A and B are shown apart, each in its own frame.
Chain A
């Protein structure tokens, strides 16, 4: 049997510092995790509404198709839909929304009865915009 004589007068300063450092690392890690989770949750929420705004543009394009206003659904470069109470107008430029998003659409002619409609939305922290395309038909033929 080996015998050891040791001076044991409470914790040394180094032990206290190590335990405090471990606790500090745990607290910082937890806080970082929480901050990251909140950031992801907020980004999700922004993307969710962004997608709704994008689909809204497609829906309004369908209103023009369904109401027999296919002829006036035209745009030279970038345009957006504005509402004047009971119906929709087409205006030139991009539309800022909620101080976060920028939305627009463009239209190109496919053939005599079909137009290709492309909706685009982007927001502050998203470098690549989201786009959706649809085809709008002239129901008269």
Chain B
């Protein structure tokens, strides 16, 4: 069954109703804008932190891979922004911070996300302090596994 609706009094909105409606709409739109802008900012921050964590993980794995099989580290000291390790066949690998990246020889291990990198040689280990951009930092130490240095 179809229904038809007829209005008895159809005078439209009064001025005061319009003003109230516009005021409410403005308040609601402002709240929505603030909430969604903040939300977007948080989402970007979270994404960036995830990206940096993946990058830091990759960097630590690369450093660990080479440091563990090295036969020689530089003399104790630091902080250095670069250091070179010697491998059993006397080949060398150099890790260095250049600009806002960290390189292994010529290969970039990170994106343009590094604020500062400090390497300390302590006994048979390398202590690493890396400050990424966006308030994210990592600190750890990686030791050799080549006991006899051969």
Q: How large is the interface on B (under 10, 10 to 19, 20 to 34, 35 or more residues)?
A: 35 or more
Measured in the bound complex, the distance between the Cα atoms of B93 and A37 in whole Å is: 40
What residues of A have a CB within 8 angstroms of the CB of B8 in the complex? 5-8
- CB of A23 within 8 Å of the partner chain: yes
Contact assessment for A8 and B10 in the assembled complex, using a CB-CB cutoff below 8 Å: yes
B7 an interface residue at 8 Å Cβ cutoff? yes
Q: Which of A44, A45, A66, A85 contacts B76 (CB 8 A)?
A: A85
Within A1-42, which residues are at the interface with B (CB < 8 Å)? 1-11, 16, 20, 23, 27, 30-31, 34, 37-38, 41
Residues of B within 8 A of A4 (CB): 3-6
Q: Are A60 and B32 in contact (CB under 8 A)?
A: no
Central interface residue in A20, A23, A63, by most chain B CB within 10 Å? A63
Query: Which among A47-55, A72-80, A108-116, A123-131 touches the partner chain?
Result: A47-55
Judge whether B6 and A3 touch: CB under 8 Å. yes
Q: A56 and B141: CB pair below 8 A?
A: yes
Question: B71 CB to closest chain A CB, in angstroms?
Answer: 11
Task: Give the bracket for the number of chain A residues in contact with chain B.
Answer: 35 or more
Find out whether the CB atom of B140 lies under 8 angstroms from the CB atom of A56. Answer: yes
- CB contacts (< 8 Å) of A34 on chain B: these are 38-39, 42-43
B150 interface residue (CB < 8 Å to A): no
Please name the residue on chain A nearest to B3 by beta carbon: A2
Q: Which residues of B contact A53 (CB under 8 A)?
A: 139-140
* Contact yes or no, B32 A23, CB < 8 A: yes
Residue on A nearest B34 in the bound complex, by CB: A27
How far is A75 from B72 in the complex, measured between Cα atoms in Å?
A: 29
Chain B residues in 8 Å Cβ range of A2: 1-4
Docked complex Cα distance between A44 and B56 (Å)? 13
The distance from the CB of B137 to the nearest CB of chain A, in whole angstroms, is 8
Contact status A48-B53, CB under 8 Å:
yes
B46–A83 touching, CB < 8 Å: no
Interface check B125, CB cutoff 8 A: yes
Chain A contacts for B43, CB-based, 8 A? 34, 37
Asked if A66 and B24 sit within 8 Å, CB to CB, the answer is: no
A52 and B3 contact, Cβ closer than 8 Å, known pairs A7-B9, A41-B50, A86-B77 = no
Closest 3 CB pairs of A and B: A86-B76, A52-B140, A59-B143
- Extra inter-chain contacts (17) besides given A1-B2, A56-B140, A86-B123, CB under 8 Å: A6-B8, A8-B8, A34-B39, A41-B46, A44-B53, A48-B53, A48-B56, A48-B57, A59-B142, A59-B143, A60-B141, A66-B144, A66-B147, A67-B123, A83-B122, A86-B77, A87-B122
